[in-house]
Chains A and B, each alone.
Chain A
Amino acid sequence: MNNKIPYRVEHNPAYASLVLDVPANETVMVEASAMAAMDSGLQMKSKMKGGLMKGIGRMLGGESLFINEFTAQGKQGELYISPGVPGDVKHYYVSSKCSLMVQSSGFVACSPEIEIDTKFQGFKGFFSGESLFLLKATGDGDFWFSSYGAIIEIPIEGDYVVDTGYIVAFEDTLNYSVENIGGLSFKSLKTGLFGGEGLVCRFSGEGRLWIQSHNIAPLINFLNPFRPTKSN
């Protein structure tokens, strides 16, 4: 995969950190609060990305998609980026031949030429009962996405089924539909706040899919009984 901005990923797959070598006078867009360290020559500006202005009222899992813009002033600068949850980071080169669909909390960084469309809404309840949106990245440039846990790449050539909570990203060439596999549903058992509907995404066609080895939802379900009860 070619890329415009030199980069390396360190400490993956469990504690991945993305290090970008931003060339002189070039800019990169990074998820707000993800910057861990940087060369002093890099200048930061807070911004909301392009097409997001219309989506300003939209809450993506409780947060708006705020993005910071980093520009290397005069000389090349190194930028250390850490996603919010420990996991993996992968790179994808978006081009006119293929756009990328990404789980909204999976955005880490991208080159300024990329257009991110948050108005493209996946099905409500797509991801285990939460209103997480899908982002569509189009244009020509680098894109980096992250996960909770490790990222596994699956080249799809036919019929594949994935639990909706574990999808990180997939190429636009794939067809998908959200289904409910009754055989997997255990929602009626009230096993937790999230999950259990047996909601899966059925992919067909050809393209690459990235899944994550873990999901925040089961962690939340696990922690839920330990929360203090209101009577305390």
Chain B
Amino acid sequence: MNIELLHQPESAIARVSLDSGEELVAQAGAMIAMSGSINASTTLRKGKGGGVMGGLKRMVAGESLFLSVFRSPTDGNTIWLAPRLIGDLLIYEMKGQDLVVQATSYLACSSQVDLDVGFQGFKSLFSGESIFWLTFSGQGVALLASFGAIYEVPVDGEYIVDTGHIVAFEKSLDFSIAKATSSLMGSFLSGEGLVCRFKGKGKVYCQTHNPGSFGSTVGSQLPPR
């Protein structure tokens, strides 16, 4: 499997080349074009522990974690994948280090990577959406999407990131979700909702823009539903 990223950083799109027998698991709706012979099916992904059906049905800002599995019967087939929002893409090589990914940033992964709906964060004060995390483990390749540009922060000690700006982080880091300030009103008024405090050593992948803020800013001005 070969993944090529084009048109970074604003309109990033991925071209995945698959050989005979190779499989790609992608967020439902991510495929925009593909060679005619590729086989597609939707699936509810079961994690290592099984029993994630309940978690998978949870709605995250109107989206569930429904996956499409693409299988290539012959060599040299192509799939084009695109994220929902304009931004960048990141290829993360899984080599034994578990990765925690914000569900909305997940685009695709090779089929040997295990996807676990491991942790559901607290409801965000600002946007009211649940922060849904996925844990990736195993070997293979993960393709992540961001809103805005992606930048890597190598943490060694302590670091705080607004939860809306987290794309993914290595599980070697200890993390806790907290309010930005000690008082509930303080957090709400500052507009800073929830933050994630990281401790230890590992990489955090951040996005420059916050989909929740964008959604509230634009969505609140649209006609009511």
List chain A positions with a Cβ less than 8 A from chain B. Answer: 13-15, 86-88, 149-150, 152, 154, 158-163, 165-166, 181, 183-186, 189, 191-192, 195-196, 202-204, 211, 213-215, 218-219, 221-230, 232
Closest 9 CB pairs of A and B: A226-B219, A159-B36, A218-B84, A14-B10, A183-B41, A213-B13, A226-B215, A150-B11, A150-B7
Q: Are B11 and A149 in contact (CB under 8 A)?
A: yes
11 of the cross-chain contacts (CB-CB < 8 Å) are A13-B11, A14-B10, A159-B35, A162-B34, A163-B31, A183-B41, A184-B28, A186-B28, A191-B63, A204-B36, A230-B225
Number of interface residues of B (CB under 8 A): 44
Q: Are A185 and B42 in contact (CB under 8 A)?
A: yes
| Cβ-based interface call for B184 (8 A) | no
- What CA separation (Å) do A183 and B34 show in the bound complex? 14
Assuming the contacts A159-B35, A191-B63, A221-B84, asked whether A213 and B224 have C-beta atoms less than 8 A apart, the reply is no
Q: Are B225 and A183 in contact (CB under 8 A)?
A: no
Interface centre among A165, A192, A202 (most CB of B within 10 A): A192
Q: Are A166 and B32 in contact (CB under 8 A)?
A: yes
B13 / chain A contacts, CB cutoff of 8 Å:
149-150, 152, 213
A189 / chain B contacts, CB cutoff of 8 Å:
64, 66
A219 / chain B contacts, CB cutoff of 8 Å:
84-85
Nearest CB in chain B to that of A166: its residue: B32
| Cβ-based interface call for B191 (8 A) | no
CB distance from A197 to the nearest CB of B (A): 11
| Cβ-based interface call for B49 (8 A) | no
Q: Are A152 and B6 in contact (CB under 8 A)?
A: yes
CB distance from B70 to the nearest CB of A (A): 9
Nearest CB in chain B to that of A164: its residue: B32
Interface centre among A13, A88, A202, A229 (most CB of B within 10 A): A13
Q: Are A196 and B29 in contact (CB under 8 A)?
A: yes
Q: Which of B186-225 contact A (CB under 8 A)?
A: 211, 215-216, 218-220, 222-225
Q: Are B68 and A225 in contact (CB under 8 A)?
A: no
- What CA separation (Å) do A195 and B30 show in the bound complex? 11
Assuming the contacts A152-B80, A213-B82, asked whether A218 and B29 have C-beta atoms less than 8 A apart, the reply is yes
Q: Are A223 and B82 in contact (CB under 8 A)?
A: no
- What CA separation (Å) do A154 and B218 show in the bound complex? 34
| Cβ-based interface call for B181 (8 A) | no
| Cβ-based interface call for B12 (8 A) | yes
| Cβ-based interface call for B39 (8 A) | yes
Assuming the contacts A150-B6, A189-B64, asked whether A223 and B222 have C-beta atoms less than 8 A apart, the reply is yes
The residue that A211 contacts in the complex, of B37, B42, B80, B86, with Cβ under 8 A, is B80
B35 / chain A contacts, CB cutoff of 8 Å:
159-161
A159 / chain B contacts, CB cutoff of 8 Å:
35-37
The residue that B36 contacts in the complex, of A161, A222, A232, with Cβ under 8 A, is A161
The residue that A166 contacts in the complex, of B12, B28, B61, B82, with Cβ under 8 A, is B82
- What CA separation (Å) do A218 and B82 show in the bound complex? 11
B22 / chain A contacts, CB cutoff of 8 Å:
none
Nearest CB in chain A to that of B67: its residue: A186
| Cβ-based interface call for B127 (8 A) | yes
- What CA separation (Å) do A165 and B29 show in the bound complex? 10
| Cβ-based interface call for B129 (8 A) | yes
Q: Are B33 and A196 in contact (CB under 8 A)?
A: no
The residue that B63 contacts in the complex, of A158, A192, A226, with Cβ under 8 A, is A192
Nearest CB in chain B to that of A230: its residue: B224
- What CA separation (Å) do A202 and B225 show in the bound complex? 35
The residue that B224 contacts in the complex, of A163, A221, A227, with Cβ under 8 A, is A227
A213-B7, A227-B222 known, 9 other contacts, Cβ within 8 Å? A14-B10, A14-B86, A154-B33, A186-B28, A191-B64, A214-B11, A215-B82, A218-B85, A226-B218
A196 / chain B contacts, CB cutoff of 8 Å:
28-29
